[in-house]
Chain A
Amino acid sequence: MIRYTMYIRKKSVLHSTDPRVKIILSLFLFTICIIFNDPLYIGSIFFSLLIFLRISGKIEIKKILSFLKPMLPFVIMIMLLWIILGSDKGNIIYQIWKLKIRDLNIKMAVAMGFRVLAMILSTFLLLMTTEQRDLVLALVKMKLPYEYGLTIAIALRYVPTLASLAVSITDAQKARGLELEKGNIIEKVKKYIPILVPLIVKSIKLAQELAIAIETRAFGKPNRTFYRDLKFKFRDIMFLFAAIVFFSLCIYLRIKGYGYLNI
């Protein structure tokens, strides 16, 4: 069973915060990860993000790490590349044949590894605590044209439906004697056509019916009102204010030259 959403249902401060505030907070944190490159700073950002998610979002650290796990090969690759192909500065601490391992490069590798993880974690802050429909609603409220918000919502809604449709069409064709595993490459590709064409045609018909259904509900009329609405609460404004102060503080530190290794 594939999980189609990262949302984890909990009752917490972070869950009940306005999604718009969370989007801004995520963008701030993402930027902070980019501007610093001292492993000490990025490492502490990473761990404080983990703790922040645990305390204010009530999400178990084990769960967060299980979502981070698929990114591990990529992080390790980046770290190895930095160690091998990094700059020529710094002291050589170990040398195998032509491969020189320098202390500065190791420092940078650690920083880059944490940077990627912290960037991903800053998006988790939004995605694990916000339902998809609230996210789309927030984007629409942030001036994304409603038609595109709706398109995103439809795509999100139909991923599981079409996945099961694909499975049933495959089964139906197999029942009619289609053998997907046999034959050379070209034959194998050709065997996908009796699955893909019905899948696409059926999906297009679904989409057309959906379009009619949407139009009967006066889609495209101006002055739309929302059944589920978002309103800033006092707490959200405080949260936003705190985020802005924190972000400006980080920018200030960076301009003063903290947290940046010149390589």
Chain B
Amino acid sequence: MVKTSELTIAAIFAALTGIAAQFQMPVEIVPISLQTLFVLCAGGILGKKGGLSMIIYLFIGLIGVPVFAGSKGGVGVIMGPTGGYLIGFIFAAYVVGILIEKKKNILISMIIGTFVIYIFGVPWLCFFVGTVKKAFLVGMLPFIPGDLIKSFGACLITKEVRKYYSLE
């Protein structure tokens, strides 16, 4: 039986990620947003349940609530070029959660989580832009500096929030 508070916090984090996705700067195909920062925080704060909250996030986006970057929602977004990143969120939050629960270094866990997002996002993007090289150039390289900063931010936020709420 899952604890009730874990369920409600997973739900609330799904909603928060949706709101964070609206704060964004559009760059080429993949928008830079606070979305990934919340994905990492979900893993960092909720542990493995972060994966659940990302599944809920994708689901509410899927049924048309505008929770994806640029106030978009619906099946079309997941089928679109950035869909792989969205699916990567589930695994990223889960991986970060596992690492954090095993008391690994928070910053390194966050960076690993960021790369998990790429592992799903870039091959999916390949499918749309044609070549692997182009997918790397459009969908990964320009975002690495930003994502490293976001990993750092997620690490700081997780540490702060942990003072008020811990996994136990």
User: Which residues in A have some Cβ–Cβ distance to B below 8 Å?
Assistant: 2-6, 67, 70-71, 74, 77-78, 81, 85, 116, 119-120, 123, 127, 132, 135, 147-148, 150-152, 154-156, 158-159, 161-163, 166, 185-186, 189-190, 192-193, 196-197, 199-201, 203-204, 206-208, 210-211, 214-215, 219-220
Contact = CB atoms under 8 A, between A and B. Distances in A.
Given A3-B66, A193-B157, A197-B160, 15 more contacts: A5-B65, A74-B76, A116-B76, A119-B75, A120-B75, A147-B7, A151-B8, A151-B14, A163-B22, A199-B16, A200-B41, A200-B45, A204-B165, A207-B9, A211-B5
B67 interface: yes
A2 B16 contact: no
B57 interface: yes
Contacts of B22: 2, 163
A155 B9 contact: no
Interface string B142-155: 00001001101100
Query: Taking each of B15, B34, B164, which has the highest tally of chain A beta carbons within 10 Å of its own beta carbon?
Result: B15
Contacts of B79: 116, 119
Interface of B: 1-5, 7-16, 18-19, 22, 34, 37, 41, 45, 52, 56-57, 59-60, 63-67, 71-76, 79-81, 128, 130, 146, 149-150, 152-153, 156-157, 160-161, 164-165
Contact of A215 (B4, B76, B156): B4
B8 A156 contact: no
The 6 closest A-B pairs by CB, nearest first: A154-B11, A211-B5, A6-B64, A207-B8, A155-B14, A211-B4
Contacts, number: 157
Contacts of B12: 154-155, 158, 162, 203-204, 206-207, 210
Most buried by A among B1, B63, B71: B63
Contacts of A67: 74
Contact of B75 (A81, A123, A148): A123
A190 B5 CA distance: 29
Most chain B CB within 10 A, of A2, A155, A166, A214, is at A155
Contacts of B2: 147
A120 B8 contact: no
Contacts of A215: 4
A77 B130 CA distance: 12
